[in-house]
Structure 1
């Protein structure tokens, strides 16, 4: 945030060159503003206000390096120039010099600690430096100093949201709404908080209010679509969620092929280019619609994450599977292609309601030779025990704190006899595995030759060897469900953005082999794991 210079006092004989320069800058006339400022400087080359204004002009013109130089000259001439120090911090931040920007901001605050915008700038810098608690303190000070400033509460709400303190974030957004009831983004952000907490009716109302104020507000429309999908209104949900391609985060990741978007019509013998989006788990989930295209007589080229190419190519033998690369694979530019479609947008055409789910037992196929080798290895270790794969941690920064179920809580399950547990967790979790071994006397089988992150085809073969998978919501459950392996998925209460599990269901229309175990109270995994233990004990008894 650039802190503008205060208006100059009105001269007695008409505007000065410096005042004219400032006035022109305020109306966006950067060229004329710089012209006036440079005409003024020869007569007063050390005037700190002129040097500061020249920095503002350069910053607005996008020349950050020149702005930084001008702000530096201003503070050299006048070391107590608060706004020049503050704006020098802004220029350093734009150039990526965050620590230097932090120091410049502290220098400005030493001169004027009661300037709300400075506290807000400090908070933004501290967030980028990963100092969340310090940033939060700065945002709180900004809000206290300017209790009528909506921007302060917007920044505070965003900081709290990023730290997972959703109730406090809601209070900040509600304060912002009280100050600016016609601010669409305030209603949209409050809706996000409510959606995270599973308060879907209230979230929908917030999005509706935001869209009534600003019908072009793509984030609100996309999130409304997620709520509709989650609650089973699939037809409307797919349509509204398509607005995600107009949001800042997703617009940059959209694949812009020189083809028309598919409208669901037959392609007269030509093929459809389908391209994956989001993460690997999402691509596996949505790839369940690819066989539907063949059933409709539509051939396709599927562009996907490179790690998924071997698995998808084996599973969809009638589809040409190519890796997502830059520039795109030549196969994506063939003349036989008539249209393109994101994997998620296939749902609008192929999954308009729950009756349209085909209930396929499986649609992915693991490498049979890899499965044979791994099964022999694991059976040598497990004997006649039930082979159960487990995964308990999410690396997703938006969801990991509530999705993850710490391994030490699994004690009632891990101590059941007649089971050999196989670690399906990606990443290094050796500390947790060691703690379980020491505390509970349980050794969980870890296959060092399988890397779920680097070798998804090998990971699919590993999952295919198992009798059962028990996991939180992550890529593991999508792999197991798509392979048709029995899988019990542990769901946190805050599933407001994990739309694919819908609400209240204990089954998944995407994966017939899946059973859902939902938290009834946010953060409380104990009853969930007790239900899993009971069902697992009954499964063992039935064997």
Structure 2
């Protein structure tokens, strides 16, 4: 039981808290409540912790909460607040632990279960998150619980169930967030018309809602209406300056050859949680385009992108006495060493200190300085060469005129049905598969169509893949490593650019002419009708026949 003095203090502190005088609450608590483990101090300490959270004094809040839990470790609210703090710091595993502890002592605490489900969604443990949202709906079926449940179903690709939830919510709330979720489902179903109409409906509800503007930007970009896309991306950034929209804006600007501003915005990828490559740890500054003694250029985003951006490596040599290139995959080190004899080629694992270079830059950032106008793409003389002995050996196995084909990528949205390639079969050329790791079903189709399967380990042995591509007369491929190798080999290539609203088209497969700026030998064949390649394959066949 509180003493009369503490009763008066509690009333005063409580009054200050209700008046939003949070710093006064903290000061009075620190002045009057000692560090003892007296149970009477708990409510003072917890209120001071809440005041610290309100004023974003997180370290102080943490001290108050930990002190409170030393007095009584079974309090669900301090445990929940510690979870919130760890979630703010993006220490998600710790946050999950505290939310679970909070629920141990109060299983019906809605906020703790909601936050637990949301954090599990953030770290992509969608099945675990779904278990929590099901319990959440039993506790309280409201907008928040239903919306989160629907969002997790959407991540799990349970589209029918998600659609049912969002349409139910939409009947109660005309909310742009819900409409954007419905639009996303239509996009996944491949219904472009409904996707666009639903976004228009969301736009009418709230023209300033960031997600609507971002998605409209995506829509217009997929239709290659880049000026409209740029307008909506810029509108998004007025209300929510986030890295993912800025990346999309940068890519859209690069597609329009607005190189300076496009490269600048594209560099926002380093602030995005979706980028798998991590920025290297170093004390050395980023290269700014000036002359320097030594520079480390380091690979990012995958082998295909590295091959593309390595077209700028020889240009870097004009600015530095020593150029080091650190590739992210050991599979391409021998290829780069042979083709860049004046550059020291390393692997990421070899870079254990930053003592050997003065400045550094991720390879994709080079474009800002070296590819900032259309003329900078001309006369680059970029071409890689296969190992001569390896090519000779492979040429003895496959000596007929050949068309190399591949149809799959790591991104399933780029995939093309293998059956489409049947129309290329003719008496003048053999078709040979360049597809890495074909499935059993694909191998059966190759046999049925008479397409050669090289039986080379072209997934791990990229030297053999490079030689095999160079032995071909033509390449017809989806967007994957084969396209990049073919372009770098200066091989006549038809790049199949799929019409899919879900697919994020790379800036380097967009050009005001039919050929890629980065790889002049690659002709970009845009699919006109979704799920129909008939006209495009007829066109490719006519070009090969000529």
Change (3 A) 1:36 1:190: farther
1:263 aligns with 2:271: no
* Secondary structure of residue in 2 paired with 1:389: strand
What residue number does 1:449 align with? 456
2:134 to 84, 106, 119: 106
Q: Supply the distance in 1 between the matched residues of 2:492 and 2:542 (Cα, whole angstroms).
A: 16
Change (3 A) 1:522 1:96: closer
**Farther-moved stretch of structure 1 (502-511 vs 276-285):** 502-511
Q: Supply the distance in 1 between the matched residues of 2:148 and 2:306 (Cα, whole angstroms).
A: 38
Q: Supply the distance in 1 between the matched residues of 2:331 and 2:482 (Cα, whole angstroms).
A: 14
Q: Supply the distance in 1 between the matched residues of 2:140 and 2:239 (Cα, whole angstroms).
A: 37
1:389 aligns with 2:411: no
CA shift, 1:417, in A, is 1.0
**Farther-moved stretch of structure 1 (191-200 vs 299-308):** 191-200
What residue number does 1:428 align with? 438
Change (3 A) 1:56 1:369: same
1:383-414 residue CA offsets vs partner (Å, 9 max, x unmatched): xx421111122331xxx33x333121222212
1:96-131 residue CA offsets vs partner (Å, 9 max, x unmatched): 875454334323424544x12111222244345553
1:311 aligns with 2:331: no
Is the 1:21–1:36 Cα contact (8 Å) retained in structure 2? no
1:274 aligns with 2:297: yes
What residue number does 2:396 align with? 376
What residue number does 2:3 align with? none
1:520 aligns with 2:531: no
Is the 2:246–2:268 Cα contact (8 Å) retained in structure 1? yes
CA shift, 1:285, in A, is 0.9
Change (3 A) 1:348 1:82: closer
2:469 to 450, 459, 463: 463
Change (3 A) 1:213 1:314: same
What residue number does 1:329 align with? 351
2:104 to 42, 55, 72: 72
1:128-161 residue CA offsets vs partner (Å, 9 max, x unmatched): 555344344334434444334x444455555655
2:145 to 113, 118, 121: 118
2:421 to 407, 410, 420: 410
* Secondary structure of residue in 1 paired with 2:80: helix
CA shift, 1:455, in A, is 1.8
Change (3 A) 1:338 1:154: same
1:206 aligns with 2:232: yes
Q: Supply the distance in 2 between the matched residues of 1:37 and 1:26 (Cα, whole angstroms).
A: 15
Q: Supply the distance in 2 between the matched residues of 1:516 and 1:94 (Cα, whole angstroms).
A: 36
**Farther-moved stretch of structure 1 (517-526 vs 104-113):** 104-113
Is the 2:49–2:62 Cα contact (8 Å) retained in structure 1? no
What residue number does 1:3 align with? none
Is the 2:286–2:360 Cα contact (8 Å) retained in structure 1? yes
Is the 2:96–2:116 Cα contact (8 Å) retained in structure 1? no
Show structure 1 runs of 5+ residues with no match. 1-12, 46-50, 380-384, 539-543
Change (3 A) 1:103 1:264: closer
What residue number does 1:288 align with? 311
Q: Supply the distance in 1 between the matched residues of 2:288 and 2:260 (Cα, whole angstroms).
A: 14
What residue number does 1:382 align with? none
Change (3 A) 1:93 1:274: closer
* Secondary structure of residue in 2 paired with 1:274: strand
* Secondary structure of residue in 1 paired with 2:517: coil
Q: Supply the distance in 2 between the matched residues of 1:158 and 1:131 (Cα, whole angstroms).
A: 12
Change (3 A) 1:534 1:273: same
What residue number does 1:300 align with? 323
Change (3 A) 1:446 1:128: same
1:476 to 478, 482, 486: 482
Alignment of 1:39-78 (within 5 A): 53-62=77-86, 63-75=95-107
1:282-320 residue CA offsets vs partner (Å, 9 max, x unmatched): 111111111223356653101112221111111101111
* Secondary structure of residue in 2 paired with 1:248: coil
CA shift, 1:233, in A, is 2.3
2:509 to 501, 504, 507: 501
CA shift, 1:256, in A, is 3.7
* Secondary structure of residue in 1 paired with 2:466: helix
Is the 1:408–1:436 Cα contact (8 Å) retained in structure 2? no
What residue number does 2:35 align with? none
Change (3 A) 1:367 1:406: same
CA shift, 1:208, in A, is 2.0
1:190 aligns with 2:216: yes
Is the 2:446–2:453 Cα contact (8 Å) retained in structure 1? no
Q: Supply the distance in 1 between the matched residues of 2:177 and 2:453 (Cα, whole angstroms).
A: 50
* Secondary structure of residue in 1 paired with 2:229: helix
Report which structure shows greater RCO (CA 8 Å, sep ≥6). Answer: 1
Alignment of 1:352-371 (within 5 A): 352-359=372-379, 362-371=382-391
CA shift, 1:176, in A, is 4.7
Change (3 A) 1:298 1:467: farther
CA shift, 1:491, in A, is 2.1
CA shift, 1:496, in A, is 6.2
CA shift, 1:490, in A, is 2.2
Q: Supply the distance in 2 between the matched residues of 1:40 and 1:181 (Cα, whole angstroms).
A: 51
1:405-449 residue CA offsets vs partner (Å, 9 max, x unmatched): 3121222212x11221110012223413423543xxx31111222
Is the 2:259–2:372 Cα contact (8 Å) retained in structure 1? yes
1:245 to 246, 266, 270: 270
Tell me how large the CA RMSD over aligned residues is.
Answer: 3.6
What residue number does 1:228 align with? 253
**Farther-moved stretch of structure 1 (121-130 vs 201-210):** 121-130
Q: TM-score, normalised by structure 2?
A: 0.78
CA shift, 1:54, in A, is 4.5
